């Protein structure tokens, strides 16, 4: 028997020990809409909407996690390793990331089978990768 889902949405939690830097990336650079903050026993969460069906949660615990984030996207470790966002111009987004001091870990690259479209990867301050896809 399948679980009965009550909402057609997904919420993604990113645990961080450097909330201010992560806010600068997700709210400042990516422009995600801040929904609000939620305090819970042992920590706090900043909630961001991405469209109507995705919420990104930046979670900070009073007691930092024992292990840091593993940087490197899908090449570093199995599991959920990156988020994908569709942007208006991949090259411009990569330039803006670099200008803001964020790492462009894979430069804009065209999809061979899809003329005019491509991707790049940028890293947030904790080393999590975000794939930016769109026109190049």
CATH of the domain at 91: 3.10.180.10
Q: In this structure, are 134 and 83 located in the same domain?
A: yes
pTM: 0.92
Q: In the chain, at which residue ranges do the beta strands (DSSP E only) sit?
A: 10-15, 33-40, 43-50, 54-61, 82-86, 103-110, 117-123, 129-135
Please report the pLDDT score of residue 7 as a whole number: 87
The boundaries of the domain holding residue 19 are 9-62
Cβ neighbors of 106 (< 8 A, separation 6 or more) are 73, 119, 120, 121
- pLDDT score of 84 more than 90: yes
Please report the pLDDT score of residue 119 as a whole number: 97
- pLDDT score of 5 more than 90: no
Q: Which 3 state secondary structure label does DSSP give 88?
A: coil
Residue 91 lies in a domain: yes
- pLDDT score of 1 more than 90: no
Span 69-88, mean pLDDT? 90
For the chain, the domain total comes to: 2
Q: In this structure, are 45 and 85 located in the same domain?
A: no
In whole angstroms, give the CA distance from residue 5 to residue 107. 38
- pLDDT score of 79 more than 90: no
- pLDDT score of 27 more than 90: yes
């Amino acid at each position: 028997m399948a679980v009965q889902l009550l909402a057609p949405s997904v919420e993604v939690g990113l645990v961080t020990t450097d909330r201010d830097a992560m806010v600068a990336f997700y709210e400042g650079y990516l422009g995600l809409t801040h929904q609000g903050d939620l305090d819970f026993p042992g920590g706090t969460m900043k909630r961001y909407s991405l469209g109507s069906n995705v919420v990104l949660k930046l979670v900070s615990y009073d007691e930092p996690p024992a292990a840091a984030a593993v940087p490197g996207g899908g090449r570093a470790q199995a599991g959920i390793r990156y988020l994908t966002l569709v942007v208006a111009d991949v090259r411009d987004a990569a330039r803006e990331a670099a200008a803001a001091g964020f790492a462009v870990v894979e430069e804009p690259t065209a999809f061979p089978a899809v003329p005019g479209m491509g991707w790049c990867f940028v890293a947030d301050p904790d080393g999590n990768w975000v794939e930016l896809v769109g026109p190049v």
